[in-house]
Amino acid sequence: MASLDSVSIAILLGAVLVMAGILSSLLALRFGAPLLLVFLFIGMLAGDAGPGQLQFDDVRTTYLVGSVALALILFDGGLRTRFASIRAVLAPSMVLATAGVLLTALVTAPVAKYALDIYWTEALLLGAVVASTDAAAVFLLVHTQGLRLRPRVGATLEAESGTNDPFAIFLTLMLVEFISIGQSSAAHVAMEFAREAVLGTIVGVVGGRLVVIALNKVALPQGLHAPFVTTAALVVFGVAQMAHASGFLAVYLAGIIIGNRPTRAHNSVVTFLDAATWLAQIVMFVLLGLLVSPRRLVDSLAPAVVVAIALMILARPVAVFLCLAPFRFSWREKIFIAWTGLRGAVAIFLASIPMLVGLSKAYLYFDVAFVVVIISLLLQGWTLAPAARRLHVALPRADRGPRRVELDLPGQLEQQLVGYPVRSKSLYFRRGLIPSWSKPTLVIRDERILTPAEADPVTPGDYIYLLAPPEKAEALDRFFVDMAPSSSPDPHLLGDFMVSGEHTLAELAEVYGVKVEEADRQLTLADYFDIHLDRAPKEGAELALDSIVLVARSLGGGRVNVIGLRLPEEEDEAPPPTRRQRFKRKLADIWAQVAGV
Under CATH, which architecture does the 58-392 domain have?
Up-down Bundle (1.20)
- CA 553, distance to chain mean position in Å, is 23
Q: How far is the C-alpha of 271 from the C-alpha of 223, rounded, in Å? A: 12
| pTM of the shown model | 0.69
Residue pair 208/284 in contact (Cβ under 8 Å)? The answer is no
d(CA 344, CA 129): 11
Task: Please report, as a single letter, which amino acid is at residue 558.
Answer: G
Give domain limits for the chain: 1-31, 58-392, 405-479, 498-595
What is d(CA 334, CA 153) in angstroms, rounded to the nearest whole number?
9
> pLDDT tens per residue, the chain (597 residues)?
566 666 777 677 667 766 765 665 555 555 544 566 777 777 777 776 666 666 777 788 888 888 888 888 888 888 877 776 677 788 898 899 899 999 999 999 999 999 998 889 889 999 999 998 876 666 666 666 666 677 788 888 878 877 888 888 888 888 888 888 766 677 777 888 888 889 999 999 999 999 999 888 887 777 788 889 999 999 999 999 998 888 888 998 999 999 888 787 777 788 788 778 777 777 777 777 788 777 778 888 899 999 999 999 999 999 999 999 998 888 988 999 999 888 877 888 888 888 888 888 888 888 898 899 888 888 887 788 788 888 888 765 555 556 778 777 776 667 888 889 998 888 788 777 777 778 889 999 988 888 888 888 888 889 999 988 877 777 788 788 776 555 444 443 333 456 777 778 877 776 556 778 777 777 788 878 877 776 667 777 888 887 778 888 777 666 787 887 776 644 333 444 455 555 555 555 554 454 443
**CB-CB neighbours of 472 under 10 Å:** 16
Question: Is 204 within 8 Å of 251 (Cβ atoms)?
Answer: yes
Instruction: List residues bridging with 405 in a β-sheet.
Output: 419
Name the nearest CA neighbour of 479 among 526, 543, 432, 540. 432
CA-based angle 553:557:562, to the nearest 5? 25
Pairing mode of beta strands 463-468, 439-445: antiparallel
Domain 405-479 bears CATH identifier 3.40.50.720? no
**498-595: CATH architecture:** 2-Layer Sandwich (3.30)
Question: Cα–Cα distance between 193 and 184 in angstroms, integer?
Answer: 13
